[in-house]
Every structure is written in C-alpha cells, then in structure tokens.
Structure 1
Amino acid sequence: MKSTIKKWLPALLLCAAQPALAAETTSAVALPNLGYEGNVTPLPPQDGAAAPKQWDRALPFFAQRVVDRGIDLPNPYDVGFSYYYTEQNMLLSNLKVSVNDNPLRSAGFVAFPKSTLENHSEQVQVGAWLFPFMNVYGIAGHISGGGDIGLSIKADDAVQFITGIDRCSGRRKPDWCGKTLEATARANYDGYSYGVGMTLVGNLDRLFFSLPVTYTVSNVSMSDTDAKSLNVAPRVGVNWQLGDYGTVMTYAGATYLHTTVTITGSATLPTSETDIGEDTKVNFSIDEKIANPWNGLAGFHWMVNRNISLMAELAFGARQGYILSAFYRF
C-alpha cells in the first residue's frame, strides 16, 4: 500500500472524480481502511514498486480508479466462520396462559422479577466488496440458548384464574390469601438463522471507522413466529503495521440491537399450598424484547496475510458476550 488516504470515505470521492485524476499517484505509505460485517479487516503491508497495476477482478466496482491512485485493495471475496456468545436481560409483556388444553387467556396480573437469556451461535459468512468503501455479505447458521423466566403471582389471582372461583372475597379467608407465589419457567431453544448486511468503511491517516448494518431472521423451537433482528455497530480504531506479522486493527465502539419475538412454553405454579391441593402446570405465550438495546464493545482484528485474518471482540455493559471469527479471502 503506497499512499496516504486523506479524507473519510476516500474511495467514494475517487469514484466521483474525473478520469484524469484517477491516474495520479503518491509515494507515502497508505493505511488500510476496509471492514467486514463490522469485523474490521486491515490490509497487510505490500512489497514491490508503487507503480499502478491493472485490476483484473470483477469486483469491487470502480476498483481501477482506486488502484490508479496507488491504493492497494484486498482480495474481493471472503468466507468466514464465527462463534458468538451473549448474555442479556429481557423485557417480558403480554403474557397469556392456559391450563391443560384450554385456549390461552391474558394474564396481566403476573409479574416478571427477572429474565436473563444466554445465546450461542455458529455462523458462516460469505461476503464481497461491492465498492471499495462498501462490503456486502450474507450469513447463515445455527443458534441455541436458554434461560430462566421468573414469575410472581398472588395466590388469590392464581386460584381464581385456574378454578374460576374467588375464594378470598368472603369474611372467612383461607390462610393462603394474600400470599405471593413464585415460579420459574425454563426457556430453552434451538434453531437456525439467516440474514444480510453491509459495512461502510473509511479512514483518516491511522484512524479508521466502520459502520455495519445487519438484518437477521431466526427460526427457533420455542417460538411459533420468526424472530427478526436489526444490528447497527459503529466502530472507531487505530491501524498497527507489524511488518512480517501482518497488520492489526484495535477498535472500540457500540452495538445497537433491536429484536422482538413471542416465545411459548410451560411453567409449574406452586398452588399446592392453596385449596387446589397440587401444583398446576400452565402453558404460556409471552412477548419478549431486549431490555437494553445498546452495549459497548472492544476488539482487535489481525490480518495475517492477504488470505487469512482472525478477529476477537468483547461486548460489555447491559449485554455481555464475545465473538471469535476467522476469514479466508480470495
């Protein structure tokens, strides 16, 4: 790489430039400015003369104009594998429950002290540089996880809901009237997901930024409907040239994640202490969304050479987790 990029989104400016400007070259050392699905991807240092070369690949569009300016481009196609883990609090609403095979009914009198879910995902990612400043990609993979959903309900309401009789309205009330029943529903799920996205990238000297936007659809066993998610994750970082060891980009940023899903399952209410005389198994349906859509992140991406790169990222704050990725470029 043989030039210094002086403006944000330099390739966008080059694409709009006149053909005469496309033949200009400089002799300073350029810094990488590219990314993949928010997993920033540096270019390795390049050996050889700074003379322009002929770009012989179909993508990215307008690549020759960039190459004629002395800016080297990465291999345009990439395949990656990622493992993702996260733990996050959820907001629950619109609970509906039923006993036995009866239809679901609204149960707004049930409270949810806490709900925390863990997620695991293995994803394959296939991408290409559509423009020198834009990567597009598709993802598909397996997801699984689970967690405990806390339930809190007054014994009066539970008995009336199950039996249809208000046994705590008379003068002589059972001793369980007024008590609060606590229960935990275990929500385990397994399924698959797929999606598409794009990343916009740019840099200013050693500083770089990337803005990935990803939309995914997940089909999981504990939901009768697909879960749809939107992820936006701006990142800012610094490039570090390591000579024979490639290039490393260290970065920090934030992630916004919006997702909603209706989950279904069953829970056991401890009604044995009431006049019912035994615990009651109920079916439930409940709407779920992430309690805090924003979290912080920090990570690094090591471009070992033009073909191989490795990435690790840590999420912190309201949503905690990590992602490990490996990419092959060709």
Structure 2
Amino acid sequence: MKLWLPLGLALLVTIPAPHAFGQEQKEAVLANPLTASGDADADNAPAPDDRAQEPSNDEPERYHRLLPFLAEKAIRRGYKLPRPFGISLIGTDNAQALTSGSLSVAFGKGAATPTSSQLVSVPFVSTERLKGSTTAVQLKADVWLLPYLNIFASVGRVKGTMDIGVVIDLNDLFPPPICTVRQPCAQQHLDFTGHIDNTIATLGALAVYGGDHWFVSASLAHTLSVTKGDRSNIRTTDAAIRLGPRLKVGTHTTFSPYFGADYFDLNTQVEGTLRVANAFPDGDDLSLRYQVQLENESKWAALAGLNVEFDERWYAQAEYSRNNTSHRLVASVSWRF
C-alpha cells in the first residue's frame, strides 16, 4: 500500500525572532560615505592626530551584513535587527480527520485483482472512517531577506498510520446469480491501517511587524510529500496569523506568548489493495484495488504558543493548534548567525 499523506506538516512554521522588525533602540545614523572615506576637499583637511583615531561612543552605528536588504533604513528608524540566518530543528505530533472525495475501485472474485484493471467510481463502495496520526522531524533553514520578511525551506521525515474504513455492498456489486435473494451476500465493513513513511519538503515566507512590547506575524507555506521511490501528487498549503506581547525578563531573555488562527488545506491520494476471505456464499474471496482522493475535514484551527528568546542566537518555541476534528503540537529550537 502506498500512502501519500503528510498530515499537516506544512504547519511547522516557527517564528524566527518575533522582534525581527520592531524592537526600538537608540536611533543609529549611518556614516556619510564621503565624510568617512574622504570627500573632494580631503587633501585640504587637517592631518588626523592620535586622538582622532580613538573610537567614540558618539560615532554612528553601521550595518556590515549583506542581508537583510534595506537594513540600513530600518536602523535609521530605530529598529534592532536579528541575525539574518537561522537553523531550526522542528518536531511535531499531529492527528487529523479526513474526508474522502472521488473513490475508484476494481474488483476480483476468487483471483486477485489485476493491476492492469481499470479503476471506476461505483456508488456501492464508500468510506466511513478516515483518521491519521503522524510524528515528524524537520530541519529548517531561514533568512531575513528584508527587515520584515523571512523566507524558509525545510526537509524532513514523517512517519505514522492512517485508519481507513471501507463499506462494500456486495448485493449491488454482484447481482444474481452470484448474490441472490435466497443467498444474499453480506455487506462488508473493511477496516485497515496504512503506514506512512514519507520525505517532506516545505517552502514558505513569514512577515513580521511589532514594537518593544508586541508583535504580529503572518506566514504562508507550501509542502510536497514524496514516497519511497515515487513522487506523490500531494499539495498542501498553510496560512496563519499570530500576535501577542513581548515580555523581557532580565538582560537577554524575552518571552513572547501568542495566539492566532491557522488555515490548512490538504489534498492527497491513497492507493491500496484489500482481500476478504470467504466473502461470497460459494466461499470465494473478494479482492479489491482502490484509489481515493482525500482532504482534511476542518481547515480552520485556533492556535496558541510561546516563543522564548534566550539571547541573539538561541530561540525555542512551542505551539498547539486545535479544531473539532484535529489537533497538533509543534516544538522547535533555533540558532541564528
């Protein structure tokens, strides 16, 4: 059985430095390049003495990193910028209820269903229970492209199970003489568990704005899941908004509790085969090959979390989201440089 299902991993969007564009500090004015390097009248200027070479606390602060772009303008306005690059290790535990869309099947009586047989949609085969549980680990790299815009990419592994219930009405599937009024065929309820072991990749962006004591962020991420040996047709999209206070504790530590809302859209496909022994009155087995399109049942969820900034380099985050059919816990640790 092949299960192409990431089950919510696009939601693994951490918040690199909530103060990324918003912590006000003493305004820093960039040095005039003509004055700093010498202007047209430099040859007529007085020769510098030793005292002129001594550093001064009144000298304007300069930004020497390539990224983010527009950093100097942000510094002029009094904003403190985080270190531009980050590496994060992310773990997640997720449970998701799903609904089925189109269901296509091929049947066989006695012998196994040939893999070349055409799958068709039939009204007498349906699903009754779709639920997935997964855990995942991802490694994420991010960069502040602009003072308020962070872009990120991550790769990782997701493992878990998916419970699926299939209902087959054999009387409609096999009319007389196979299933008759005197010898009816039973309605089959087939429960099985599929195993998930996928590689996932995510691309996304995060926009942040705030001040000394608050922040707001909006994120957008797109995830692709790849099975062993095959590329899946999964496309998941996640968008979220988060906001909360920034509470400074001591000299370097800042706690940022937050809440928000998340929209997650998942569309995927599950393929597999089933076999039921002695399904017919004559003792023959039933074989079934199927393909079903799935999507998450509830797309909106409320979320709450906590981001802790230990210093300019180390961060930790935990986030929990929930709706009436799913819940998810995400934790991460990040290092910036």
- Short-chain TM bin: 0.7 to 0.9
The size of the alignment, in residue pairs, is 282
Q: Report the Cα distance in structure 2 between the residues aligned to 1:267 and 1:297, rounded to whole angstroms.
A: 38
Residues 82 and 124, structure 1, Cα contact 8 Å, conserved in 2: yes
Higher Cα Rg: structure 1 or 2?
A: 2
1:1-330 pair list within 5 angstroms: 37-39=13-15, 41-43=17-19, 50=26, 52=28, 53-98=61-106, 99=108, 100=112, 101=114, 102-106=116-120, 107-160=122-175, 167-168=178-179, 172-174=181-183, 176-177=184-185, 179-203=186-210, 206-221=213-228, 225-244=232-251, 246-269=253-276, 272-317=278-323, 318-330=325-337
Runs (4+) off by over 4 Å: 221-224
* Percent of aligned pairs sharing the same letter: 21
CA distance in 1, matches of 2:144, 2:239: 19
In the alignment, the residues of structure 2 paired with residue 234 and residue 158 of structure 1 have an alpha-carbon distance, to the nearest angstrom, of 48
TM-score by length of 2: 0.77
Gaps of 5+ in 2: 1-11, 29-60
1:111 counterpart SS class: strand
The residue type paired with residue 196 of structure 1 is L
- Report deviation, 1:196: 1.2
Q: Tell me, in whole angstroms, the C-alpha distance in 2 between the residues paired with 1:187 and 1:224.
A: 18
Instruction: Tell me the CA shift for residue 130 of structure 1.
Output: 0.7
Whether the 8 Å contact between 2:18 and 2:208 is mirrored in structure 1 is no
Determine the C-alpha separation between the residues in 1 that align with 2:212 and 2:273: 56
- Shift in alpha-carbon separation, 1:58–1:151, aligned structure 2, 3 A: same
Q: Under a length normalisation based on structure 1, what TM-score does the superposition of the two structures give?
A: 0.78
Contact 1:222 1:265 (C-alpha < 8 Å) held by counterparts: no
1 CA distance for matches of 2:231 and 2:82? 43
Between stretches 55-64 and 149-158, larger displacement belongs to 149-158
Q: CA shift at 1:142, angstroms? A: 1.2
DSSP-derived class of the 2:182 partner = coil
Residues in 1 aligned to 2:182 and 2:231: alpha-carbon distance in whole angstroms? 41
Secondary structure (helix, strand or coil) at the match of 1:266 reads strand
CA contact (8 A) 1:123 1:141 kept: yes
Cα deviation per residue 1:49-79 (whole Å; 9 max; x = unaligned)? 9362111101111111111233211101101
CA distance in 2: counterparts of 1:82 and 1:224, whole angstroms: 23
Q: What does residue 17 of structure 1 align with? A: none
Counterpart residue type for residue 238 of structure 1: P
The answer to whether the 8 Å contact 2:216/2:241 transfers is yes
The structure-2 alpha-carbon separation of the partners of 1:200 and 1:243, relative to structure 1 and needing over 3 Å to count, comes to same
**Residue deviations 1:279-321 (CA, integer Å, cap 9, x gap):** 4232221111111111111110101111110011112113211
Q: What is the distance in 2 between the residues matched to 1:88 and 1:157?
A: 32
Mapped to 1, the partners of 2:71 and 2:19 lie a distance apart of 15
- Measure, in 2, the Cα distance between the counterparts of 1:253 and 1:70: 28
- What CA distance in whole angstroms lies between the structure 1 residues aligned with 2:177 and 2:320? 52
Measured in 1, the distance between the counterparts of 2:274 and 2:83 equals: 52
Structure 2 match to 1:26: none
CA drift of 1:104 comes to 3.5
